[in-house]
Structure 1
Amino acid sequence: MLGFQLVQEGRIRLSITPEMKQSIHLLTLSGQELARYLQEAAEENPVLELEEPSALRARLSRRLNVGKFSSHDPLLQVQGDEPTLEHLLISQLRLQNLLPSLENTAVYLAGCVNEDGYLTMDLTEVMSARGVSMPEAVAAMDILQSLDPAGVGARNLRECLLLQIKRDPLANEYAKHMVEEGLEELVRFHPGRAGTRLGISSQQAQAAYDYIARLDPKPCRSMGCTERPHYIVPDAVVQIRNDEVSLRLNSAGVPRVSLNEACCRWIREIDADEIWSGRAAEARAIIRSVRMRRRTLMRVLAAIMSEQEAFLREGPAGLKPLNLAVIAEAIGMHESTVSRTVNGKFVQTPHGVFELKAFFASGLETTNGEMASAPAVKLRLKELIRSERAERPYSDSQLTALLANEGIVISRRTVAKYREELQILPSLERKRWA
């Protein structure tokens, strides 16, 4: 027989409030992202008031002296768009006295050049698109390839190098022949074998190879850049003053948040409804979350710099192994909180601007029982390769032995991995024969 009864039981349930969720979200934001978030929040909530940093206002007033110019228009200070590569090429074509049909075809080809300077359209497709003959398409391509910089309009790497060699009055006399023989021979270059194949000495082959290596495989990569430059604004600044470490958060660009007193007074006087009371509570929650973010970031940063004080005094060579658990235990927080705090944050140090994640490095055990960080080992590896003899470069096995003599126990495979991460060629390709 079925029946009903009331049963009371206790359960532990983990829940997260909207304010906690907001605090976690703000903790993961960088300074620039936080500024955008606060701007959007202030546009939606009139109770929240933003004040631009005083340092920024001072710089603007000194630089522009806005008080003397009541009709100052900030739009006049906006920088115009940079000309694209296509516009730069077309401007050169306009200066040449070309037949209209030939000029139009050359202008069409200029629009088919990618950001590296290579022609991405086959001439047969140009014939079909423009309704011209093959000789006319070739003539337009030759005009395009005669423009600056040398190598523009090439259809492949081999043609790009040959165009640069042809335009260079000081080109190596054997470089053209070497490129025409095949680029695959330059990957595993050996001056003795190359000289025998070309009928020249190994010294001449080495000189031609060195000249080819100085040519630009992407001649237009610095022209007509369509991407805006990306600037990193550090979230904190670390300095050493009077032999002591000084920490401060960078407030430049991040507005100060506060409550709009007039709006709050109006809400209290009229005994506003739940909507306006909710807006006020939401603004107070944002202010508390911003303050908590500052405190957490400052605590995590202080703990990191305390562990990496040798880095502040010696540079990257003094970087020691570190993980999230050490910092979490030092400040009494969970590892996930530390991970959110360092995510996307940058710090300005006496040795440059670094991402906070860069201070959490894996370690390698040394013969004296201590630990050496992976970045420090990479730096030492780079120094060893820089000091090697060009005619007898160190192999990966020799580099492993040299590091072992310094107390750093590391396998040859790890040395090869670090060398590839540093974008350093193998010993055979680093060797110079003449």
Structure 2
Amino acid sequence: MRVSTRTRVGQAQVFRMAHVVNVIRMSQEELDTHLLRIAENNPFLVVRRRRHAWNRTGAAQDAPESGPVDAPNSLYDHVLRELSGLIAQGGAMERLIVGLVEELEPTGWISRPVPEIAAALGFGCEVVESALRLVQRRVSPAGLFARDLADCLRLQLEDQDLLDQEMERVLVHLAVLETGDADALAKAAALDPATVSEHLARLRRLDPKPGSRFTNDPTLLRDPDVRVEPDGDGWMPVFKPGFETTVDVLPKGSGERYPELRQAVGEARALKQALELRQNALKHIVRVMIEVQGDFFRNGPAALKPLTQATIAERTGFHLSTVSRVLNGLLIEGPNGIVPARMLCARRSSRCAQRGVSKPTVLARLRELLLAESPSSPLSDQCLSDRLGAEGVTVSRRVVANYRQELGFAPVAQRRLRA
């Protein structure tokens, strides 16, 4: 009898622990779907969806369905789903894949060179290179996790079986187009102009930023999960869970007559406890982000400080994958409007200095320099890099070129011709 009692207690503990682990590691969309599915089959779990303020974005009839969403609705959600099999392996593989996902820019490219990623993750360059190639082959559309424009186009050509030696030479010298034309590219690649023009026409049919197709995230239409309000000189988060969950009480005496009802109540209570623990994890993670990014809520994106998910994991004690899952689909509302929580995880832009500023800060300053330049004497990427360096922001010419393109400014040669 004692053995039987201990076995039942052990099973209950394992069941509750599995609920806690699964619920904490779910993204917000996965959690919503999970709650609705469990509530359909468990009469003692009552789930009420929080009312949405559709009047903020348009008429109610324009709002999407509020039921579970099976299709991915953001770049991070998409790649996490496609790479879930690799992440599930745990250990070093999980650290590698989650680390690479962290480096993903909205364009679909990775934000830093492989050696820097390897140093941050504590792996060798060859290991990270192998993981990157594996990820590039696993995800769709082709071109995600590319190192740069040429790599993005190369991946798409390989996927379509259109990469030959001539096209490879064009891609190697593609940067020539920043300061020259097709004839200059033909000369650098040692190809005739007609062949280069044909290859360029093929390249123009490709998607240089495959991640941008995921930018229209329908989750931005719903109410935020966290609202940030002023609190003296700081900020106070107000948490608003997506669902209100309650557990009904089992009628007196029916537990002995109907063991399955007693089991259903136990499962409902375990799930409610897991949700409370997940909310506690969410509070710890968000408070760390608000503590670091307080200036963002006062002064906007230009005031974002470098903050990685690895730093959040270290300061909260949660696993890196748990932090990534909690932030996936999470919306935060502040004085600057509603933003995805991942936006507050700003990468360091400096490639040399240990205390580099965040990418949004560099983008804001770069935009100011480009808007203030003389139309008859526009600034080259190297000149922009030098000016930023004089201000204490160490950014390479290549990074400046990528950021300039992201801001929508043409290369210096084209800007000079338009003057």
> What's the TM-score once normalised by structure 2's chain length?
0.53
2:227 to 218, 237, 242: 237
| Contiguous gaps of at least 5 residues in structure 2 | 1-12, 65-176, 181-215
State the 1:28 CA deviation. 4.2
Whether contact under 8 Å (2:255, 2:261) holds in the other structure is no
1:25 maps to a residue whose letter is N
Whether contact under 8 Å (1:366, 1:372) holds in the other structure is no
State the 1:35 CA deviation. 3.5
1:50 to 47, 50, 55: 47
Whether contact under 8 Å (1:28, 1:344) holds in the other structure is no
Whether contact under 8 Å (1:321, 1:360) holds in the other structure is yes
1:313 to 269, 282, 298: 298
Change in CA separation of 1:228 and 1:302 when aligned onto 2, cut-off 3 Å: closer
1:212-361 alignment runs, 5 A limit: 231-251=221-241, 254-261=242-249, 264-266=250-252, 268-269=253-254, 271-361=256-346
State the 1:229 CA deviation. 6.1
Give distance in 2, aligned partners of 1:336 and 1:239. Answer: 28
State the 1:241 CA deviation. 3.9
State the 1:275 CA deviation. 2.3
Query: Aligned to 1:371, what secondary structure does the other structure show?
Result: coil
2:389 maps to a residue whose letter is A
Give distance in 2, aligned partners of 1:412 and 1:365. Answer: 12
State the 1:417 CA deviation. 1.8
Query: Aligned to 1:363, what secondary structure does the other structure show?
Result: coil
Change in CA separation of 1:428 and 1:22 when aligned onto 2, cut-off 3 Å: farther
State the 1:29 CA deviation. 4.2
Whether contact under 8 Å (1:30, 1:344) holds in the other structure is yes
1:259 maps to a residue whose letter is V
1:45-124 alignment runs, 5 A limit: 45-53=42-50, 56=51
Whether contact under 8 Å (1:367, 1:407) holds in the other structure is no
Change in CA separation of 1:284 and 1:399 when aligned onto 2, cut-off 3 Å: same
Query: Aligned to 2:357, what secondary structure does the other structure show?
Result: strand
Give distance in 1, aligned partners of 2:358 and 2:63. Answer: 46
Whether contact under 8 Å (2:381, 2:401) holds in the other structure is yes
State the 1:306 CA deviation. 0.7
Larger Rg: 1
State the 1:300 CA deviation. 0.5
Give distance in 1, aligned partners of 2:222 and 2:27. Answer: 10
Match of residue 373 from structure 1: 358
Cα distance per residue 1:210-262 (max 9 Å; x no partner): xxxxxxxxxxxxxxxxx9966243221112244331101124xx33111122x
2:338 maps to a residue whose letter is V
Match of residue 34 from structure 1: 31
Give distance in 1, aligned partners of 2:29 and 2:323. Answer: 20
Structure with the largest fraction of helix: 2
State the 1:23 CA deviation. 2.8
Whether contact under 8 Å (1:48, 1:257) holds in the other structure is yes
Whether contact under 8 Å (2:27, 2:325) holds in the other structure is no
Query: Aligned to 2:268, what secondary structure does the other structure show?
Result: helix
Cα distance per residue 1:142-162 (max 9 Å; x no partner): xxxxxxxxxxxxxxxxxxxxx
1:246 maps to a residue whose letter is M
| Alignment of 1:394 onto 2:384 | no
Give distance in 2, aligned partners of 1:340 and 1:384. Answer: 37
Give distance in 2, aligned partners of 1:389 and 1:361. Answer: 31
Identity of aligned residues (%): 29
State the 1:368 CA deviation. 8.8
Give distance in 1, aligned partners of 2:331 and 2:355. Answer: 28
Change in CA separation of 1:272 and 1:394 when aligned onto 2, cut-off 3 Å: farther
Match of residue 19 from structure 1: 16
Change in CA separation of 1:188 and 1:291 when aligned onto 2, cut-off 3 Å: closer
Match of residue 420 from structure 1: 405
Give distance in 1, aligned partners of 2:289 and 2:318. Answer: 14
1:80-229 alignment runs, 5 A limit: none
Name the count of aligned residue pairs.
255
Cα distance per residue 1:159-191 (max 9 Å; x no partner): xxxxxxxxxxxxxxxxxxxxxxxxxxxx9999x
Cα distance per residue 1:312-370 (max 9 Å; x no partner): 22221221112233222322333332222222212112222222222222224599974
Match of residue 137 from structure 1: none
Give distance in 2, aligned partners of 1:50 and 1:20. Answer: 21
Change in CA separation of 1:48 and 1:78 when aligned onto 2, cut-off 3 Å: same
Whether contact under 8 Å (2:308, 2:345) holds in the other structure is yes
State the 1:310 CA deviation. 2.2
> What's the TM-score once normalised by structure 1's chain length?
0.51
Whether contact under 8 Å (1:366, 1:407) holds in the other structure is no
After superposition, the CA RMSD in angstroms is 3.5
Match of residue 206 from structure 1: none
Query: Aligned to 2:373, what secondary structure does the other structure show?
Result: coil
| Contiguous gaps of at least 5 residues in structure 1 | 1-15, 64-76, 82-186, 191-226
1:425 maps to a residue whose letter is A
Query: Aligned to 1:50, what secondary structure does the other structure show?
Result: strand
